[in-house]
Structure formats: C-alpha cells, structure tokens
C-alpha cells in the first residue's frame, strides 16, 4: 500500500519532467536540422504566444533557397493527453479498490488509512490535474500574453476596450478596483478615477462577434469566446526615480482547432488593432501634446503625454475661435494629400503673436494627429539622439505631427558655427537634422512644422544652409492682421459674452471699433495676441464695473461671464475706447520692432 501511495505521489513529477524533455527534444531537433527554424512559429504547436508591442513592418522575403517544414506535435500531445488521463483514472480506481476492500475487511484500520494515505492521494491527484489542464490548454486553446512593462500602450488599449463595455451594467462591471488621481483630459483638473484592475487576479470571458461591415475574419454565425486572465504580478522598482510598477500580464485564451486556429489568430489580431486605434485616437475636440521628459540626466529622454489642447474652430467664439488665414490654404491642402503616405516638412514664419503655434494645433486637428514638441536648442540633444527619438520604436503612434518651435534659435547657432550645446563637437548639426528630414532615418509619413520669425528665410541664410531649406516642401508667412481680420475677430471673440446682441448692433459697433482715427484701422502693426489681450483686459474692466454676471453654461459646470443686455452700450463704449487701446498698445511688448539679426560667424 505504501509503495502504491509513493508511486502515485511521484507520478506527477515524472510526467512533468517527461513533458519538459519532450519540448526540449522538439526544439533541439528543429534547431539541429535548421537554425533558421527558431525564427518561425509552429502553426499547430505554437498555441502560446507572447505579444510584444511592435510596429508593422513589411515582411522580407528570404534570399535562401532552403525550404522549411514545420513538424506537427499534435500526435505527441494527444498521446500524452491519453497517457495522463489513464494515469489519473487507473491508479485512482486501483487505490480506490484497495482502500475499499481494506475499509470493509478491517474496520479498525479506517482511521490509519485516512491519516496515512489521504495526503499522498490528494497530492498525486492535484499534481496530475495540473499537468492534465496544462496539456489540455496546449491542445485546444490559443494563448496570447500581453505584458504591461513591454507593451504598455497595447495593455492600456485592451483594458480600455474591456472596461468601456463591461462598465455599462452592474452584472459585468468590475467589483475589485484601484483608486487613482489623474488629470482629466477634458478639464485639466485632478479627478479620482477607479482603475479597472487591482492587485487581485481576475478571470472573465468576452465574446467577439462578426463585424457588420464584413471586415471581420469571423464567419457571420460564429462567436469567438476569449477568456481574459489578469495577473497583477510582483511589484518592481524601475528607473532612476525609483518608481514602483507591477509586472501585470493579460492572458487571452481562445478555444480553437487546427482548422480554425489561423482564422482565430487573424480575428484576434484585428480586434487588438481596433483596440489600439480606439485608444490612441484623441478625444473629440482635443489635440494630444507629447513632449520629451527625462527621469535622470544620465538617461535618454523619452516621449510622454504632456497635456491636451482644445481644438479651435473658425465657427467658434471666445477662446475657441480660430482665425483662418489665406496663407494656410496651400499647407493644409498639401498635408491632406500627402501626409498619410509621405513625410511633409513645412516652415511657418512670422512675428511673435500672429498665430503660428495656434495654426500648428489647428493643422494637427485637421489631420487627426498628435503633436510631438521638439526643441533643437536643448543642450542634451544630439544627432544620434534626435534620430533615435524620431524612430518608429520611440514614437507610440502610427503618424504624428512634430512641432519645432523657435527654429530661428537653432538657425542662429548654426550660422555662428555652434550647436545646441554651444560648440561644434556636440549637439544637433544641420547635417544631422537634414538626415532626419530626408534620409535613411527619416519618418515614413507624417508632418514636421518648423515655426520661427521671418528673418530665418533671408537669402544669406538660405545660401549658408541650402540642404536644410531644400527639404522644405511648403513655406507660409503670417503677417500682421488686416482690417477684415480684426473685424472678424471682433465679432467672433466677443459674441459669447453678448449672446443677445442683434446683427445691426454688431455692424454699428464694428464700424466704431475700426474707425479710421483709431489704432485698429491699420495705422500700426496688429497681431492676434494684441487684439485678444486687449479684449480680455476690457472684459475684466466690465466685470469690475458690474456690467455682467457669471452664468453656468452647458454641462461643463463652469461659470461664464455674460454682459447684461441693458449694459450692452456701456460695454461697447468700453471696448471701442480708442484712448484705452492706444495706451494698451504702447504698454504692449514691442514685438513689431526688429529683433537681433541672424548673422554669419564670419560677419558677426
């Protein structure tokens, strides 16, 4: 009896070693016959897949003439499955028969039977059941693992897709969550959010149905059931800032067969792609801004989400109004035509405050792209790091808009024979920057917008840096506001504060605001920022004078200032006061004056 019990307890360990030896032998024979086979997935035996976050590259055709045949291991798996089943059933019935006979023939030994053999029997059956489940999963289930530390974007995308659907009703919502404080993208305020996962493991099932548009790989009458297993993992310390992260893993298991495994893989990949697309798509009305952040001066900085900017529209009012200029038309048309298939580089010049940065955000909204802000004058940015930061492995989006603001500072360093670090031996050089614009390391598609003052397009600079300007596909110069631009800004910006003003009244006050003797009629250079700052200053004066009250507007819960209809005339008298406007413009920073010119090092 003791011999049988010890053999039963040792059987799971023997079978476990047998399974490991079978797997090792299969890998050894495959590598010995062809070393390239280690790079190829086994169609029928590779049911457990670890899914890292990779960019889609075109597959390369092998130049070798050697063909590879993958040997199926399903026959061995089935034989092992039957052997495990017999190993569980035969010893169980044998031990049960012996114990039953002893139990009946020797009633006085029943207590010793329970004490002596209960632990061994339970341990043996538990070990056999573990190996049985493992082999069963290998035979009938396709497994996909997503590690959060290796594929954070894809992990969050899957979590968002599952959370959005499950939190719609109480039967499927998460009852075990983790509370966090995060910035709300819409309001920018700190809000408390309940994370879908916590520190406890969880398992649930989701169903994928055939798409209505016919793009799904699933048959119209088939429903793909996915078992989602969440493993929180251990907490680890990462980075020079010693932040704590959990090694979280999502395991997606799909019951399949050898006839359906390829179709199920395609369906699962298509669903994961849709999760990723929905996750990286910006919220309606917002443009996501990413910038370089570093946790230590010894480490290379990486891209991180910085903030979300509201999209301005030509039909908006107040701060949501965007003044569209004719200089934008060709750049916008060119970007919509070619930015999806090629890299386009645009240069936007003009005095400070004319709307260059606002145009960049507006263009990103038109193309539905996130903005990646880049400063070429950073002392820690070199040619190699710039190429690395603009590579596919560093950017987590398929296509982006890279904004290089204050480009005249980088040009000034180049003209004086210096780089961003102050010397020639380090920093971003014109050659390294040109390589990122049009070279082997250039982005395959997207937009790069260079903004700066108008002196960077002077002829002597173009002659000194011909390679840089040769890579510019379009140039646009934003000048000062014209009379019609000022009139349109007058109407659209102030309209939200006076919603009940009639069209006739608007025309009368617009004519008074643009009176020929006033400062807004073209007698001096006017920028968008000048007009906006003056209007905000006069609205503040109107609030102090009691010409209006704060009213809760819409679902945002924010109070907006509204002028009383009976005080409209007093408000327009305040806004159209030419003397106040003259004093304000005299106090405004003299941006219309010429800045320090960009000179060559030889003529500096």
Instruction: Please state, in angstroms and rounded to a whole number, the distance separating the CA atoms of residues 57 and 538.
Output: 56
Which one of 280, 306, 335 terminates a domain?
Answer: 280
pLDDT at 55 over 60: no
Instruction: Please state, in angstroms and rounded to a whole number, the distance separating the CA atoms of residues 342 and 263.
Output: 32
Looking at residues 440-469, what average pLDDT do you find?
88
Which has more confidence, 185 or 290? Answer: 290
pLDDT at 601 over 60: no
Residues 376 and 394 grouped into a single domain: yes
Residues 134 and 168 grouped into a single domain: no
**pLDDT tens-digit map of 535-588:** 999 999 999 999 988 887 665 556 788 999 999 999 999 999 999 999 999 888
Whether residue 544 is contained in a domain is answered as: yes
**pLDDT tens-digit map of 402-431:** 999 989 988 988 888 755 444 544 578 898
- The pLDDT of residue 104 is 76
The pLDDT confidence band at residue 249, using thresholds 50, 70 and 90, is very high
Residues 233 and 309 grouped into a single domain: no
Residues 45 and 172 grouped into a single domain: no
- The pLDDT of residue 336 is 93
Helix (H) / strand (E) containing 540? helix 528-544
**pLDDT tens-digit map of 83-119:** 767 776 777 777 777 767 776 777 776 666 666 666 7
Lowest mean pLDDT among 20-29, 397-406, 440-449, 552-561: 20-29
Residues 269 and 314 grouped into a single domain: no
Per mean pLDDT, which of 71-85, 181-195, 237-251, 559-573 is the most reliable? 559-573
pLDDT at 46 over 70: no
- Tokens in use for 565? 């209809």
- A 10 A CB-CB count for 220 gives 10
Whether residue 59 is contained in a domain is answered as: no
Supply the range of the domain harboring residue 559. 496-587
Residues 513 and 453 grouped into a single domain: no
**pLDDT tens-digit map of 172-185:** 888 888 888 877 77
pLDDT at 233 over 50: yes
Residues 364 and 263 grouped into a single domain: no
Quote the crossing angle between the two packed helices 152-166 and 261-280, to the nearest 10°: 90
- The pLDDT of residue 4 is 47
The pLDDT confidence band at residue 62, using thresholds 50, 70 and 90, is very low
Question: Percentage of the chain with pLDDT > 90?
Answer: 25
Residues 441 and 312 grouped into a single domain: yes
Residues 78 and 184 grouped into a single domain: no
Residues 297 and 271 grouped into a single domain: no
Looking at residues 244-262, what average pLDDT do you find?
88
Q: Is 428 helix (H, G, I), strand (E, B) or coil?
A: coil
- The pLDDT of residue 166 is 86
Q: Is 69 helix (H, G, I), strand (E, B) or coil?
A: coil
pLDDT at 351 over 80: yes
Looking at residues 65-84, what average pLDDT do you find?
60
- Tokens in use for 540? 């503040």
- The pLDDT of residue 538 is 93
C-alpha torsion angle, residues 481, 482, 485, 487 (rounded to 10): 120
Which has more confidence, 462 or 442? Answer: 462
Whether residue 601 is contained in a domain is answered as: no
Which one of 261, 280, 299 terminates a domain?
Answer: 280
End-to-end CA distance of the chain: 100
DSSP state of 106: -
- A 10 A CB-CB count for 112 gives 11
pLDDT at 126 over 50: yes
**pLDDT tens-digit map of 478-516:** 989 998 999 999 999 999 999 888 888 899 999 999 987
């Amino acid at each position: 009896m003791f011999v049988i019990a010890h053999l039963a307890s040792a059987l799971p360990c023997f079978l476990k070693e047998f399974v490991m030896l079978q797997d090792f032998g299969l890998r050894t024979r495959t590598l010995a016959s062809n070393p390239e086979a280690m790079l190829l997935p086994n169609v029928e035996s590779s049911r457990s897949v670890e899914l890292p976050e990779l960019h889609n590259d075109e597959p390369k055709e092998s130049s070798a003439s050697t063909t590879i045949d993958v040997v199926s291991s399903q026959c061995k798996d089935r034989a092992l499955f039957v052997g495990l089943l017999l190993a569980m059933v035969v010893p169980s019935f044998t031990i049960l028969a012996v114990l039953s006979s002893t139990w009946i023939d020797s009633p006085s030994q029943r207590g010793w039977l329970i004490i002596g053999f209960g632990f061994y029997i339970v341990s043996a059956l538990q070990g056999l059941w573990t190996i049985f489940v493992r082999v069963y999963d290998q035979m009938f289930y396709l497994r996909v693992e997503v590690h959060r530390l290796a594929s954070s974007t894809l992990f969050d995308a899957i979590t968002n897709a599952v959370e959005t659907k499950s939190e719609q009703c109480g039967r499927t919502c998460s009852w075990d969550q983790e509370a966090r404080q995060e910035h709300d993208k819409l309001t920018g305020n700190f809000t408390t959010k309940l994370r879908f996962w916590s520190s406890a493991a969880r398992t649930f099932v989701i169903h994928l149905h055939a798409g209505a548009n016919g793009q799904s790989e699933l048959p119209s009458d088939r429903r793909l059931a996915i078992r989602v297993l969440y493993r929180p993992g251990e907490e680890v310390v990462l980075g020079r800032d010693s932040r704590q992260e959990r090694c979280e893993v999502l395991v997606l298991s799909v019951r399949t067969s050898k006839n359906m495994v390829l179709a199920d893989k395609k369906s699962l990949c298509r669903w994961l792609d849709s999760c990723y697309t929905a996750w990286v798509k910006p919220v309606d009305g917002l443009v996501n801004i990413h910038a370089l952040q570093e946790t230590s001066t010894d480490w290379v900085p990486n891209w991180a989400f910085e903030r979300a900017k509201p999209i301005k529209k030509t039909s908006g009012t107040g701060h949501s109004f965007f003044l569209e200029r004719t200089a934008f038309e060709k750049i916008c048309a060119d970007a919509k035509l070619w930015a999806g298939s090629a890299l386009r580089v645009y240069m936007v010049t003009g005095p400070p405050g004319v709307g260059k940065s606002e145009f960049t955000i507006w263009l990103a909204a038109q193309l539905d792209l996130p903005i990646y802000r880049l400063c070429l004058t950073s002392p820690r940015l070199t040619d190699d790091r710039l190429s690395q930061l603009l590579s596919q492995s560093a950017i987590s989006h398929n296509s982006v808009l890279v904004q290089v603001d204050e480009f005249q500072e980088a040009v000034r360093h180049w003209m004086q024979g210096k780089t961003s670090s102050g010397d020639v031996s380090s920093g971003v050089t014109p050659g390294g920057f040109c390589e990122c614009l049009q070279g082997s390391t250039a982005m395959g598609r997207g937009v790069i917008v260079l903004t700066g003052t108008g002196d960077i397009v002077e002829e002597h600079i173009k002659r000194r840096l011909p390679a840089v300007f040769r890579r510019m596909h379009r140039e646009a110069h934003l000048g000062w506001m014209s009379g019609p631009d000022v009139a349109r800004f007058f109407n659209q910006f102030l309209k939200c504060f006076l919603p009940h003003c009639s069209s006739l009244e608007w025309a009368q006050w617009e004519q008074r605001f643009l009176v020929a003797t006033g400062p807004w009629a073209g007698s001096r250079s006017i920028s968008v920022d000048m007009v906006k700052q003056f209007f905000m200053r006069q609205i503040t004066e109107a609030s102090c004078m009691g010409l209006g009250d704060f009213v809760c507007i819409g679902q945002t819960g924010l109070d907006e200032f509204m002028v009383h209809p009976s005080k409209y005339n007093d408000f327009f008298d305040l806004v159209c006061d030419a003397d106040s406007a003259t004093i304000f413009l005299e106090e405004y920073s003299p941006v219309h004056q010429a800045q320090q010119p960009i000179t060559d090092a030889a003529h500096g």
